[in-house]
Amino acid sequence: MKQYLQKAVGEVLSSLHYSSGALFFEKPKVAAHGDLTTNIAMLLAKEAKKNPRQVAQEITGALHPDPALVAAVEIAGPGFINFRFTPGWVVESAKEILRQGSAFGKTNPANGRLTNVEWVSANPTGPLHSGHGRQVILGYTVANLLEWTGHAVTREYYFNNAGNQMLNLGESIYARYRESLGDSYAFPENGYAGEYIKDIAAAIAAEHGDALRESGEDKKYFRQRGEEWCFASIKKTLERLGVRHDVYYNEDSLYSSGKINEVIEEFRAKGLAYDLDGAVWLKATELGLEQDRVIVKSTGEPTYRLPDIAYHREKFRRGFDLVVDIFGADHIATIPDVLAGVRALGYETENVKVIIHQMVSFVEGEEVVKMSKRSAKVYTLDELIDEVGADAVHYFFVMRSANTHLEFDIELAKEQSDKNPLYYLQYAHARIASILRFAQEQGYPVDDVAALLPSVANALLKEDAEVNLLKLLLDFPEMIQSCAFGYEPHRLTTYLREVAEAFHRFYHDCRVLGEDKSLSTARVALCLMAKTVIFNGCTILGVSAPEKM
RNA sequence: GCACCCGUAGCUCAACUGGAUAGAGCAUCAGACUUCGAAUCUGAGGGUUGGGGGUUCAAGUCCCUCCGGGUGUACCA
């Protein structure tokens, strides 16, 4: 419909010698203002030095939309042009929902664009903690949204199993191992204090006894065992949330393949790197940043910036033309350096989309749940899943805009009542399923789309509650596009809540199964449409849509 | 100090590239089940969008400034 109006109004504009560059349609906030509106007359009025309403008159006077689609065109307020759809068009388009079923909502504006979404990327030094949940879920949902809008998505996890943190992990496990042998052995100052370190150490002690007591300087075995354990733990947690990555990209491969040195040499050749105090510095000030940064430490080890730059360049070399990174706000400082570096290597960073989410705090009713990374008592993501369930983890972490601080209410997430927005949504789905089961018993062709389609007619579905529900359901594909375009999954949760609400309203106002068989069939079809949209939305969110609760 | 994010109803938050009367949920109050799931629905009250300036026909949204909160600001990742 938007495309139709875009074209029709666009033609009118050019016939009137107006520019149509700023022509947009949007859904008015207030239903009384019609189904779609445009502000084009007010924008044109300025350059034409005319009254906006007068410009709107000119446009509508020359506009003759198809009466089968558009019921009314009105000029309102300071010069908005409002369009109202015909009920016939609404009902006719709604048939698509039934025809497409589980594919309804999928569109292809991105046309197979090769897209890399990188997220989680936690190093294997411990289990995922509850705060990681936000980015785990955010990336999962964004990747789904991109896929539903035609991106060819590669889901990627970037990790480093070679740096200082890993050495520290090995040392920490070794220390716990010695303790378990009854030795008094100093625990590393910044060692990992978590209980899991003791578990790993205990497992090693059980297998090897004291045979590894004198491992000398090399704690490689301990490090390896730690890495295996941590990765297994992380992957298991992700699995519980249905999160899968296509590629695990090891930072180490950037060294072994010489990609790191290549970048250094290129920076040197471009005069963007210099030596000072035994370290190699990136001339970031040359790239418009505040200060120069070390890329190779005086010890000879690169800082994280260098591999990050090389890694991003590799993504482009691998053929991706959209690169999406998801970071927590605590990593925000690294981004400008990395982008500047990539740009200096000759790549367009406008195709790098960095999504930064703000921090999460957990509350249980009135109480704030304290969590400290350094302390031994870390609330893991696994424990959060145990506590509230995978569905609530999915829903609650994307419920709010990424760039605002998120308050995760554990008590609310557990609550099985109308207070919990997730339950409200799932209840709507279960309720529809229940009605459809009942309808099936009565002999309605619930599973037979071809048999239901003819009943979908505007002579039958004409109550306000029915038409409003239909219109809302028809917004679904565009809603997904706009969520994907803005990387804003939280808007999908709001939308789905509205769908559930519109359905409950319809259920309340209109009896589905009544005396009139053809009307009942039409309403069964409408139930099925609502169920389809809720189901598809839940699929994108990674939330289950239960048949019964 | 500097950079980024936030400040909207008692609480948690929406508001699509600036649009019309700033919206939901929870909480509070008042109502609705002999009928397909009351885990539902209907209604009411609740606001100077942190303060002040500016741009615009139009500002919660853009610009400047001040105040308050968060996250960073490493030869850690």
ipTM for this model: 0.94
Which residues of chain A (176-215) touch nucleic strand B at CB < 7 A? none
- A344 has a pLDDT exceeding 60: yes
Give the gyration radius of chain A's Cα atoms: 29
- Res A371: pLDDT: 59
Could you tell me if A158 and A168 are in contact, meaning their C-beta atoms sit under 8 angstroms apart? Answer: no
Does residue A247 have a pLDDT over 90?
yes
For residue A59 the two structure tokens come to 């446009």
The three-class DSSP label of residue A73 is strand
Closest nucleotide over all strands to A163 (CA to C1'): B77
Q: How many CB atoms lie within 10 A of CB A413?
A: 24
Q: Is the CB of A406 under 7 A from strand B?
A: yes
Q: Give nearest nucleotide to A360 (CA–C1').
A: B70
Q: How far apart are CA A396 and CA A387, in angstroms?
A: 13
Strand B proximal residues, A:139-178, Cβ < 7 Å = 160, 163-165
| C-alpha–C-alpha distance, residues A317 and A346, integer Å | 12
- Rounded to whole angstroms, the distance from the CA of residue A537 to the C1' of nucleotide B31 is 34
A4-62: pLDDT as tens digits:
999 999 999 988 888 887 888 988 888 888 899 999 999 888 778 788 888 999 999 99
pLDDT of residue A370: 63
Question: Within window 232-291 on A, which residues have Cβ closer than 7 Å to strand B?
Answer: 251, 276-279, 290
pLDDT for the residue numbered A365: 72
Digit-coded pLDDT (tens) for A87-123: 899 999 999 999 999 999 999 999 999 999 999 999 9
Residue A374 has pLDDT above 70, yes or no: no
Model pLDDT, residue A52: 87
Q: What is the pTM of this model?
A: 0.94
pLDDT digits (tens, 9 = 90+) for A51-97: 888 899 999 999 999 999 999 999 988 889 999 999 899 999 999 99
Q: Which residue do the tokens 């360049």 mark? A: A313
Strand B, nucleotides < 7 Å from a protein CB: these are 2-7, 12-17, 19-27, 35-42, 56-57, 69-77
Instruction: Give the Cα separation of A57 and A220 in Å (integer).
Output: 79
Containing A198, the helix (H) or strand (E) segment is helix A195-208
How much of chain A exceeds pLDDT 90, in percent? 73
Q: How far apart are CA A397 and CA A543, in angstroms?
A: 12
In whole angstroms, what is the distance from residue A458 CA to residue A311 CA? Answer: 56
- The CA distance from A328 to A325, in Å, is 10
SS3 A427: helix
Average pLDDT of the residues of chain A: 91
Give CA–CA dist A157/A246, Å, rounded.
8
> Range with the lowest mean pLDDT among A104-118, A131-145, A333-347, A433-447?
A333-347
C-beta pairs of A21-26 under 8 Å, 24+ apart in sequence: A25/A83
Compute the distance between CA of residue A61 and CA of residue A73 in angstroms, rounded to an integer.
Answer: 10
Contact A352, A301 (CB under 8 A): no
Q: Which of residues 64-103 of A touch strand B (CB under 7 A)?
A: 76-78, 80, 82
A508 touches strand B (CB under 7 A): yes
Rounded Cα distance, A419 and A471, in Å: 26
| Predicted confidence (pLDDT) per residue in A426-457, tens digit | 999 999 999 999 999 999 999 999 999 999 98
pLDDT category of residue A348 using cuts at 50, 70 and 90: confident
Distance of alpha carbon A293 from its chain centroid, rounded? 32
Kindly state the average pLDDT of the residues A173-182: 94
A356: nt with nearest C1' to CA: B5
pLDDT digits (tens, 9 = 90+) for A198-212: 999 999 999 999 999
A232-241, A253-262, A405-414: which has the highest mean pLDDT?
A: A232-241
Q: What's the pLDDT at A376?
A: 46
How many other CB atoms sit within 10 Å of the CB of residue A3? 8
pLDDT reported for residue A90: 92
Residue A304 Cβ under 7 A from any strand B atom? yes
From residue A340, alpha-carbon distances to A116, A268, A288, A297, A502 in Å are: 19, 15, 8, 20, 48
| A435 alpha-carbon distance from chain centroid | 32
Which band of pLDDT confidence, cut at 50, 70 and 90, is reported for residue A193? confident
Contacts of residue A335, defined as CB under 8 A and 6 or more positions apart, other chains included, come to A327, A354, A356
- The protein residue nearest B16 (Cα–C1') is A482
Name the pLDDT band for A388 (thresholds 50, 70, 90). Answer: very high
Residue A373 has pLDDT above 50, yes or no: no
Buried b (16+ CB within 10 A) or exposed e, A37-49: bbbbbbbbbeebe
DSSP letter (8 states) at residue A174: H
In this structure, are strands A406-409 and A360-364 parallel, antiparallel, or unpaired? Answer: parallel
Task: Please report which confidence band the pLDDT of residue A386 belongs to, taking 50, 70 and 90 as the band edges.
Answer: very high
A112-126, A253-267, A287-301, A433-447: which has the minimum mean pLDDT?
A: A287-301
Is residue A375 over pLDDT 60? no
Of A3-17, A366-380, A453-467, A475-489, the least confident = A366-380
Backbone phi, psi, residue A188, to 5°: -55, 145
